[in-house]
């Protein structure tokens, strides 16, 4: 199946207009029909009114990234078509210009293009009378009077019109819609279904004949689930036994805490909203010392407040926390709801001084799950903070994937102390050992009384300023990283997708995994044989192994979602290999498959300067 056979559906409208629900319902419907979906969203840092859109790539096989083109667009407002022309400064051009030739647009005939707006000859424009359809459906329930309030159901009309146009199984969709209205909301199910049906019929009758694309059920879902990064992380935390999740609200991390909190009756993770991120990281550390697996999730601005706490966790050898860092557009508040991969150097070096820590970058939801689970093991085994660095793209994109394989996952709480039979004091919490790891007790353990300090300390944890103790204690601590580098399986450190001696080796980390994999598959069909070296463990960095792999490649191209090529620099620092060719992107949006492909081709042609991608 070529990319051309994929269907890219998009729904756009103001924040608060329910495009999420429409998109998620469609995803679920496709999944249930045996199709694969990759879905991503773009929205402003705003609650109501600014332009947002969801993009679904629907395919017969797994897809891991989005494409630039749109085949079918649902426009809930004029802005979706032509941009924010109502502002004193126009900041985007809408999506009309992104339409694939032969594509179609379903738009609200009450809120569509205005005279003089740009138009496209090669795109079919299907006006849908949203208000009339809603009114008709409401009339069935004698609720016409509520048409204003219930405009929120325009999203269902968009969904319905799409289904009608594409000829997809309406009964399946009806079931999915009905499932969505349970409990208190059950009364709304019928109304929504009615609206959906009307819209579907309307579109089918009027437009289907003049639009060739069809979407059909292939079979069952194959057990697949639709998974976002934050859900994958949340489930991993639950499975790993995370007992305390602290947080301070921040996009896009909050959703993960909400996820855990709403399940805390069933799976007891105490979710605590803190006064700030300083407190969030410190509470988690305090809990870790007391024997609870603890975590906090944030994005850049919050992480910036956690530096000092991380250093304290490092020197006191706290068995945690696990910090999930969801990168977003920076610096400062930056582009709060947008994507970037620009916090990585900071994550590696946050806090003054030197201490052991682990930084690991999963590439997609599945890796988020596995990595987060292991992060708790590492935090306890190596008694150090572990940062899982991911991003907005991973956090909020959906894809349909097989359910997680959990059988291989083992909980490892590291070396815990054995209470002395005598009950006597004298436990050495910071005992000098060869591998740097000292057995640990938990606050409250009998026979395990210890002291600890952010000041340099001796084996008992009391402050000592001597040079000799310092050298030994600092060496002991840092040795844990050497131990970790030996023990962590290579498969968690890096993955080479494809042959080492391919024509081009693409190098990336984190959420570029999806677009790179999709792009090299496409490149293959265009006669360019490429492999992909995915870096995962960034600290301790597997320098020797990575150098060896890189040396085997004929040409390298680095792909990174930041300005500076931060991991490219890290690779050079750690291996001496300079990946000269760079494809980067820092416009607040994730790489599409197309951008990666184009960028690679561009760099292969000329590496005089990096390729800056920004399909605006």
Ligand X SMILES: Cc1ncc(C[n+]2csc(CCOP(=O)(O)OP(=O)(O)O)c2C)c(N)n1
Assess 189 for contact with its own copies (CB under 8 A).
no
Binding mask 171-200 for ligand SF4 (x = CB under 6 A): ------------------------------
Residue from 146, 205, 276, 501 binding other proteins (CB under 8 A): 276
Residue from 15, 221, 273, 304 binding its own copies (CB under 8 A): 304
By beta-carbon proximity to other proteins, the closer residue of 250 and 583 is 250
Residue from 249, 268, 403, 499 binding ligand X (CB under 6 A): 249
Q: How far is the CB of 392 from other proteins (least distance, A)?
A: 14
Q: How far is the CB of 432 from its own copies (least distance, A)?
A: 14
Assess 616 for contact with ligand SF4 (CB under 6 A).
no
Residue 431 and residue 428: Cα distance in Å, rounded?
A: 5
3 state SS for 590-615: CCCHHHHHHHHHHHHHCCCCCEECCC
Q: Are 246 and 284 in contact (CB under 8 A)?
A: yes
The listed partner (its own copies, other proteins, ligand X, none) that binds 300, CB under 5 to 8 Å by sort, is its own copies
Assess 312 for contact with ligand X (CB under 6 A).
no
Closest CA to 229 of 372, 37, 59, 344: 372
Number of residues that bind its own copies (CB under 8 A): 78
By beta-carbon proximity to other proteins, the closer residue of 222 and 499 is 222
By beta-carbon proximity to ligand X, the closer residue of 273 and 474 is 273
Residue 129 and residue 109: Cα distance in Å, rounded?
A: 5
Q: Are 177 and 156 in contact (CB under 8 A)?
A: yes
Q: Are 168 and 29 in contact (CB under 8 A)?
A: yes
Assess 403 for contact with other proteins (CB under 8 A).
yes
The listed partner (ligand X, its own copies, ligand SF4, none) that binds 569, CB under 5 to 8 Å by sort, is its own copies
Residue 133 and residue 224: Cα distance in Å, rounded?
A: 34
CA distances from 467 to 264, 480, 481 (A): 48, 20, 22
By beta-carbon proximity to ligand X, the closer residue of 299 and 512 is 299
Q: How many CB atoms lie within 10 A of CB 251?
A: 18
Q: Which helix (H) or strand (E) holds 99?
A: strand 99-108
Binding mask 338-357 for its own copies (x = CB under 8 A): x-x-xx-xx-xxxxxxxx--
Assess 47 for contact with ligand SF4 (CB under 6 A).
yes
Q: How far is the CB of 88 from its own copies (least distance, A)?
A: 9
By beta-carbon proximity to ligand SF4, the closer residue of 15 and 435 is 15
Residue 527 and residue 494: Cα distance in Å, rounded?
A: 26
Q: Which helix (H) or strand (E) holds 358?
A: strand 358-360
Binding mask 385-404 for ligand X (x = CB under 6 A): --------------------
Q: Name, in order, each residue with C-beta under 8 angstroms of 476's C-beta and a sequence gap of 6 or more.
A: 430, 432, 433, 436, 438
Which 13-42 residues touch other proteins, going by CB under 8 A?
16, 31
Assess 292 for contact with other proteins (CB under 8 A).
yes
Assess 124 for contact with its own copies (CB under 8 A).
no
Assess 336 for contact with ligand SF4 (CB under 6 A).
no
DSSP string computed for 462-529:
-B---HHHHHHHHHHHHHHHHHHHHHS-HHHHEEEES-TTSSEEEEEEGGGHHHHHHHHHHHHHTT--
Assess 540 for contact with its own copies (CB under 8 A).
no
Closest CA to 481 of 383, 411, 414, 388: 383
Q: Which helix (H) or strand (E) holds 100?
A: strand 99-108
Residue 318 and residue 130: Cα distance in Å, rounded?
A: 57
- Region near ligand X per CB under 6 A, out of 66-74, 106-114, 298-306, 576-584: 298-306
The listed partner (ligand X, its own copies, ligand SF4, none) that binds 348, CB under 5 to 8 Å by sort, is its own copies
Binding site for ligand SF4 (CB under 6 A): 47-48
Residues that bind ligand X (CB under 6 A): 248-250, 277, 301-302, 305, 333
């Amino acid at each position: 199946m070529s990319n051309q056979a994929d269907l890219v559906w998009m729904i756009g409208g103001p924040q608060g207009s329910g495009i999420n629900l429409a998109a998620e319902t469609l995803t679920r419907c496709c999944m249930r029909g045996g199709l694969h979906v990759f879905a991503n969203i773009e929205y402003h840092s705003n609650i109501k009114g600014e332009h947002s859109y969801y993009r679904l790539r629907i395919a017969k096989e797994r897809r891991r990234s989005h494409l630039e083109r749109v085949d079918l667009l649902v426009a809930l407002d004029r802005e979706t078509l032509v941009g924010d022309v109502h502002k004193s400064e126009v900041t985007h051009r809408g999506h009309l210009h992104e339409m694939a030739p032969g594509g179609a647009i379903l738009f609200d005939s009450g809120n569509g293009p205005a005279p003089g707006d740009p138009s496209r000859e090669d795109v079919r424009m299907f006006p849908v009378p949203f208000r009339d359809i809603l009114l008709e459906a409401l009339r069935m329930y004698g609720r016409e009077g509520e048409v204003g309030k219930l405009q929120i159901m325009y999203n269902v009309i968009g969904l319905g019109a799409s289904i009608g146009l594409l000829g997809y199984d309406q009964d399946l969709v009806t079931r999915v819609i009905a499932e969505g209205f349970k409990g208190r909301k059950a009364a709304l199910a019928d109304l929504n279904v009615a609206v959906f049906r009307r819209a579907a019929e309307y579109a089918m009758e009027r437009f289907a004949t003049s639009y060739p694309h069809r979407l059909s059920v292939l079979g069952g879902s194959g057990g697949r689930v639709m998974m976002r990064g934050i859900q994958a992380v949340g489930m991993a935390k639950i499975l790993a036994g995370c007992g305390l999740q602290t947080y301070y609200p921040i996009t896009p991390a909050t959703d993960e805490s909400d996820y855990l909190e709403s399940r805390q009756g069933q799976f007891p993770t105490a979710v605590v909203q803190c006064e700030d991120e300083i407190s969030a990281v410190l509470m988690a550390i305090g809990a870790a010392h007391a024997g609870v697996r603890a975590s906090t999730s944030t994005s850049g601005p919050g992480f910036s407040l956690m530096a000092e706490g991380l250093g304290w966790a490092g020197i006191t050898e706290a068995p945690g926390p696990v910090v999930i860092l969801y990168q977003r557009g920076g610096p400062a508040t930056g582009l709060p709801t947008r994507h970037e991969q620009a916090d990585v150097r900071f994550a590696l070096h946050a806090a003054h001084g030197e201490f052991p820590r682990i930084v690991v970058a999963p590439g997609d939801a599945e890796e988020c799950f596995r990595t987060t689970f292991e992060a708790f093991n590492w935090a306890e085994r190596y008694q150090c903070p572990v940062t899982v660095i991911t991003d907005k793209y991973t956090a909020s994109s959906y894809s349909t994937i097989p359910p997680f394989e959990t059988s291989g996952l083992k909980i490892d709480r590291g070396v815990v102390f054995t209470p002395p039979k005598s009950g006597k004091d004298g436990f050495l919490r910071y005992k000098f050992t060869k591998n740097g790891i000292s057995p640990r007790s938990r606050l409250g353990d009998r026979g395990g009384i210890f002291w600890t300090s952010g000041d340099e300390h001796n084996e008992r944890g009391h402050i000592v300023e001597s040079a000799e103790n310092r050298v030994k204690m600092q060496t002991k601590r840092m040795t844990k990283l050497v131990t970790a580098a030996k023990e962590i399986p290579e498969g968690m450190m890096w993955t080479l997708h494809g042959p080492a001696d391919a024509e081009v080796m693409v190098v990336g980390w984190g959420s570029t995994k999806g677009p790179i994999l999709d792009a090299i598959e496409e490149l293959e069909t265009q006669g360019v044989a490429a492999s992909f070296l995915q870096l995962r463990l960034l600290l301790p960095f597997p320098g020797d192994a990575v150098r060896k792999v890189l040396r085997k490649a004929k040409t390298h191209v680095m792909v990174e979602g930041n300005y500076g090529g931060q991991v490219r620099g890290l690779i050079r620092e750690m291996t001496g290999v300079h990946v000269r060719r760079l494809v980067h992107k820092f416009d607040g949006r994730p790489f599409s498959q197309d951008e990666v492909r184009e960028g690679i081709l561009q760099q292969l042609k000329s590496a005089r300067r990096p390729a800056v991608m920004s399909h605006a």
